[in-house]
Structure 1
Amino acid sequence: MSTTTTAAADKINVVMDTVAQAAPPANEVAIAAADSYLPVAALQHVIDAVHNFTGLNWWASIVVTTLLIRSAMLPLLINQLKATSKLSIMRPHLEEVKQRVDRQAMDPTLVSEGQKEMQKLFKEHGVSPFTPLKGLFIQGPVFVSFFLAISNMAEKVPSFKSGGAYWFVDLTTPDGLYICPVLTALTFLITVECNSQEGMEGNNAAGTMKNVSRALAVASVPLTMNFPKAVFCYWVTSNLFSLVPRVR
């Protein structure tokens, strides 16, 4: 009886081993993305799809995914640049009306007429006072989603430990050489110097904004030096891509 029971147990173990071997392995990205919000989880699956389809290492898959998504957003960014250029063209007229309104501040009727004239200028040029901020609303959610998705993958996807190249083979750890944070700061600084505040020319705040951006570029090195290297694969690529619409 004991021998029969043992034999039956052995057969069950053999069957279970066979089923386990036949079953597809659990997708490490699917497991990592399971507890993420939908946009963040979707982005992780897109990176995984690029990785599986192309056979590229994780770092290159992140770069390709970044290029694909930024390319899809390019028409929106070009429209944004055109709109900010229109704002730059109309700014002298707007300032003239504003100064006239300020001089006539004691006359409510003239002030109202001046405000209507400014509204007419905005309408004629198809822009608004908030036009320069539209880029932030377009790119902000994408940046946050990429950051959260890649950070989550760096933490929970084991193969990220060997998914890099050169000095950044392990994508899950900070860059001890600080090359990645410095590259990120430099590429961001390039976008600033290449007129990242396009459309703000003539605005008194433009110089201040540019100086603040320069300071942020410098400060980003110590602020990001503890980020996993995987994040910089996106960040540097995205910064460089931001220069594309500005190439004349």
Structure 2
Amino acid sequence: MWFRVTGTVTTWPLRFCCHGNQVAGKTQVRCISHGVYTRGHYAHPLVPKPVLFATPLAARHLELQPCRTIGSARPGWYESIADSGPVHLMEQLLVFGQQTTGLPWWASIICTTLALRTAVTLPLAVYQTIIIAKVEALQKEIAELARQLSYEISVKAREKGWSEKTCRYHFKKNLRRIVSELYVRDNCHPFKASLLIWVQLPMWVFLSLSLRNLSMGIGHVPAGLQEELAAGGALWFSNLTLPDSTWIIPVSLGLVNLLITEIFALRQLDASKFQKYVTNFIRGISLAMIPLAAAVPSSMALYWLSSSCVGLGHNLLLRSPRFRALCRIPPTRLDSDTPYRDISAAFVAKYIKLKT
């Protein structure tokens, strides 16, 4: 049975093939000079078979099937990450921690978060602070070397008749070389200070997705584990597989993140425009996390809140003079013998007195 739309050279027929109680429609291309072929495969002329249409066509199920499969449906990037090896490893870690300690799931999530951030991210945060302190200590030496280099370039310019553009080129080139040598000498390249974010962010993502899989029973989650999470909450978030309808955890998460941002911003006495833009961007992210945390299972929101609280504690710990001396962090110009009192005074001066 053929339905034809005839063009100048080719025709596009629609072939209906019946298999059992189904009718399959297949598109074919008929070429004047090459006969009938289907996407490169030669097809013989159709021979009508009346027995195939013993029942009315309208009563049959019409299904269009391609002659060959162009591509198979593949999972998106989000599903691929959620079903990756690191996420499954985090799932096993969470289950092992809960079964080993025997704690309810809400307490196990908090303890696992505290253990991971203390064992992994705190040493990296100390290392980051050391690198930043070393780079800051080099600024005085870099400034002195830059003045000497400027004098040498001016002498060479008078001898060789360099233009101002040539002088700037040689100055920047030699200054970059000098700074790189200083970074190598003190082993404090600024890129090493970003090591913390390259470890902390993937760990945060993998743990979040593992809790999502456990809460929704996705993937290789053992049977009955979702029910344990549903009964493993406390107080107003008794069901960890459902979002927090009271918004207490999401709002608390946003407030803690804003507090961390403001404590960091209070140390920037002479912040540049770029630093102000970054601070405002982080404030926006902190606020955007509130509705996001209200839409995910309470187990994820509880982990985010626990991680932020531990991060706040680590930031305050890194301000302690005793802890900095214990970790042998070089002194900086922003160090203080009373850091917590200074933070409170700066917070009051900036926000409370400003309102009054």
Shorter-chain TM band = 0.7 to 0.9
In the TM superposition, residue 106 of structure 1 has moved relative to its aligned partner by 3.0
Q: TM-score, normalised by structure 2?
A: 0.53
Larger Rg: 2
1:212-243: per-residue Cα shift (whole Å, max 9, x none)? Answer: 11121112212332011101221111111113
Distance 2:98 2:106 in 1: 9
Does residue 273 of structure 2 align to residue 225 of structure 1?
A: no
Does residue 129 of structure 2 align to residue 69 of structure 1?
A: no
Structure 1 gap segments, 5+ residues each: 1-34
Does residue 239 of structure 2 align to residue 178 of structure 1?
A: no
Instruction: Look up the equivalent residue of 1:120 and give its one-letter code.
Output: E
Distance 1:159 1:146 in 2: 18
Q: 1:239 to 1:168 in 2, by over 3 A?
A: same
- Look up the match of 2:43: none
1:64-92: per-residue Cα shift (whole Å, max 9, x none)? Answer: 11111112112222111221233344456
Q: 1:150 to 1:91 in 2, by over 3 A?
A: farther
Greater fraction strand: 2
Distance 2:133 2:270 in 1: 9
Structure 2 gap segments, 5+ residues each: 1-81, 155-163, 218-225, 321-356
Match of 2:182 among 121, 129, 132: 121
Q: 1:123 to 1:83 in 2, by over 3 A?
A: same
Instruction: Look up the equivalent residue of 1:138 and give its one-letter code.
Output: V
**Contact kept? 2:128, 2:194, Cα under 8 Å:** no
**Contact kept? 1:168, 1:229, Cα under 8 Å:** yes
Distance 1:222 1:88 in 2: 39
Q: Which has the higher contact order (CA 8 A, sep 6+)?
A: 1
Does residue 104 of structure 2 align to residue 57 of structure 1?
A: yes
Does residue 135 of structure 2 align to residue 87 of structure 1?
A: yes
Distance 2:135 2:276 in 1: 17
- Look up the match of 1:16: none
Distance 1:213 1:37 in 2: 29
**Contact kept? 2:132, 2:190, Cα under 8 Å:** no
- Look up the match of 2:166: 106
Instruction: Look up the equivalent residue of 1:65 and give its one-letter code.
Output: T
Match of 1:188 among 242, 253, 257: 257
Greater fraction helix: 1
- Look up the match of 1:169: 238
Say what the alpha-carbon RMSD is for the aligned residues. Answer: 3.0
Distance 1:117 1:199 in 2: 27
**Contact kept? 1:86, 1:127, Cα under 8 Å:** yes
Q: TM-score, normalised by structure 1?
A: 0.74
Instruction: Look up the equivalent residue of 2:172 and give its one-letter code.
Output: V
- Look up the match of 2:38: none
**Contact kept? 1:189, 1:217, Cα under 8 Å:** yes
Number of residue-to-residue matches in the alignment? 213
Distance 1:36 1:158 in 2: 21
Q: 1:201 to 1:165 in 2, by over 3 A?
A: farther
**Contact kept? 1:105, 1:111, Cα under 8 Å:** no
Match of 2:194 among 125, 133, 156: 133
Distance 2:291 2:143 in 1: 40
Q: 1:191 to 1:137 in 2, by over 3 A?
A: same
In the TM superposition, residue 168 of structure 1 has moved relative to its aligned partner by 0.4
**Contact kept? 1:132, 1:199, Cα under 8 Å:** no
Stretch deviating more after TM superposition (51-60 or 140-149): 51-60
- Look up the match of 1:21: none
SS of alignment partner, residue 103 of structure 2: coil
- Look up the match of 2:88: 41
Distance 1:166 1:134 in 2: 38
Instruction: Look up the equivalent residue of 2:104 and give its one-letter code.
Output: N
1:142-195: per-residue Cα shift (whole Å, max 9, x none)? Answer: 001101100111101222111100000111111111111111111112222222
SS of alignment partner, residue 135 of structure 1: helix
Q: 1:178 to 1:131 in 2, by over 3 A?
A: same
